[in-house]
Amino acid sequence: MSSAPFDVEAVRREFPILSQSVHGRPLVYLDSAASAQKPRAVIDAECHVYERIYANVHRGVHRLSGLATDAYEAVRGKVRAHLGGQDNREVVFVRGTTEAINLVAQSWGRTHVGPGDEVLVTGLEHHSNIVPWQMLVAEKGAKLVVAPIDDTGTVDLERFEKALSPRTRLVAIAHVSNALGTVNPVATMATLAHAHGAVVLVDGAQAIPHERIDVSAIGCDFYAFSAHKAYGPSGAGVLWGRKEILDAMPPWQGGGDMILSCSFAGTTYNDVPYKLEAGTPNIAGVIAMGAAIDWMNRVGIEAIAAHEEDLLAHGTRILSEVPGLHLIGTAREKVGVLSFVLEGVHPHDVGTILDYEGIAVRTGHHCAQPVMEHFGIPATTRASLACYNTRSDLDALVAGLHKVCNTFR
C-alpha cells in the first residue's frame, strides 16, 4: 500500500488512452462507472500471458500450463486479501457482477426460495440485481419486495427494516448505486437482514474501485464485482461467498473442470470453487485482474478515495452553478457519480455535444430504470469519476455544458 502523496499527473501517465485527442480536443473521460480505463500494468499483464505463458489452466503437465495455472490461481489469494476474506476457496471466478448474481439466483436461489418466500431489493438497484430475482420469484411462486428510496436517492432504513419479514430468504443490495453514487450502509443492512434469517448478497460493482472492501466487517454472505470497473479487463469478475454456503450450492453449469469424475452412470462434482467454474475461463483476464488489484494497492485505495472525494465536492459545487441544471442523487454518503438533467435538453443531446468537445459522459437510464421512474425522468447525463480525473476535467465539463445551453437557448 502506498503512503506517498497522491500525484494525479503521475497516475494519468500510466493510462495510455488518456493521452489521445477526440474530435481534435484532449480526451476528458468521465464514464468510469460504465467501465474504467486500464493502466499500463494491466495492459502489460494481459499481453504477457498471450506472449509468454498462455495455455489452458489445470491438469496440464507441460511447462506453459503450469505457469498459467500458477499465475491464474495466485489471483484467488489477491482477491481474498483485497476483500478481507479468510479462504481462497471462497473466491469464484466469473465473467462479471451480472454472472455472479445470476449464479447465486440459479444455484442458491432455486434451492432455497419457494412459494410464498420473498427476495428483498432496494429502489437503487441496477437491472442486473433486479431481473435475476424477478426470474427466480416467477419460477418459484415467490415475491420480489422493494425497499424504497427518498428524493435524495437514499434508502429509507426504517422502511427497509419494515420490508423484512419471516419470509425473506435473500436480501440483494447494491453497495454503491451506479446511477446516483449513493453508498448504502451495507453492514447495517446485513445485520438487519440476518436478524430475520435472510442471506445477504452485495453488488459491489461500483464500490470496488472507490473504497477498501472488508466482507467480514460488512457481514455479507455473497459479494460480487467486475474487474472492468476497477481498472481491470472486461470479461472477468468475482463472486465471493462464505465457504459453508458455497459448499452446499449445486453447480449451475455443467462441463469441464467442475467434475472430479464423469461417466454415463453419473458424475461426481469437484470442490468449491471449481464446481461453480465450468469451462475454460478467461485466463488472461483473471491474471490481468490480479494486476489491477496490485496496481490499486500500490497507488493506495485510501489515497484514491480522498482524491475522488475532493473531485466530487468540486464537481458538485460547479455543476450547481450551471443555469437550469439539476443534480439527481444528493445522498449524504456517495462516491464520484454526478448525475444530472438540464432543463429543455435531452440527455442524449447533452452527451453528443459534449463528445464533440472531447468529453465522454454516459447518458440514458444507466440500466436503473426504477431509479429514473422514482425521479419522474426518462434519463440523466452521468459524469463518473476515477482516480485519473482532475479538477480541470470537471471544469471542462462545465464549459461544455455552457456550450450546450447556448446551443439550445
State the catalytic residues. 367
Gap between the Cα atoms of 73 and 224, Å rounded: 18
C-alpha cell recorded at residue 135: 426470474
Gap between the Cα atoms of 238 and 76, Å rounded: 9
Cβ partners under 8 Å of residue 388, min gap 6: 8, 11, 12, 15, 18, 29, 37
Q: Is the CB of residue 334 less than 8 Å from the CB of residue 305? A: no
Q: Is 147 helix (H, G, I), strand (E, B) or coil?
A: strand
Gap between the Cα atoms of 55 and 64, Å rounded: 6
Q: Which of 314, 323, 330, 300 is nearest to 402 (CA)?
A: 323
b/e per residue 367-384 (b: at least 16 CB within 10 A): bbebbbebbeeebbbbbb
Instruction: Report the DSSP beta bridge partners of residue 122.
Output: 147
